A = this chain, B = another copy of it.
C-alpha cells in the first residue's frame, strides 16, 4: 500500500512536486515546490519557510498529498498521501541538502531576516501510481 513501484521510482528524482495541503476553510491547497527524496529513509521531504501558508496548514493539519507528475507524459504520475511531520531546521542543514540537489542553490536567499525554515517529512499512508490514459 505504501510501496513505490519500480515503474515510477524515477519520478522521485524529478525537480518539482505538487504539494497538497488542506487550507483553513477545508479546501485542498496546491503549490509546486522543490523537494528531496531522502535515500537514507526512503521518504519525500520538503524544506519550507515557516511563514508560508502551506507550512502553517501542515502544522495544523498534517494530512497531505505529494503528486509527482511526469512532465513529458502527464498521463503518468505518482501520488503519495500521508502525514507531514514538521521539524525545525534552524541551521539550514536540511535546506542545504535540498540546495545540493538544485546545483548548490542557497535557500537562505529565499528567506527574510527573522524567518525560519522547517523540514517537512511525509510519512506515506497510501501510494497511487498511474500510467496510461487517465480514466476520468
Contact = CB atoms under 8 A, between A and B. Distances in A.
Contacts of A64: 27-28
A32 B74 contact: yes
Contact of A27 (B29, B65, B133): B65
Contacts of A23: 81
A46 interface: yes
Interface in A1-40: 15-16, 18, 20-23, 25-34
Chain A interface residue bracket vs B: 35 or more
A43 to B, nearest CB: 16
Given A25-B125, A28-B30, A71-B71, 19 more contacts: A15-B74, A16-B75, A18-B67, A18-B69, A20-B20, A20-B28, A20-B30, A22-B22, A27-B63, A27-B65, A28-B64, A29-B81, A30-B30, A30-B67, A32-B69, A32-B75, A52-B135, A71-B74, A107-B136
Interface of A: 15-16, 18, 20-23, 25-34, 46-49, 52, 63-65, 67, 69, 71, 74-75, 77, 79, 81-82, 107, 110, 125-126, 130, 133-136
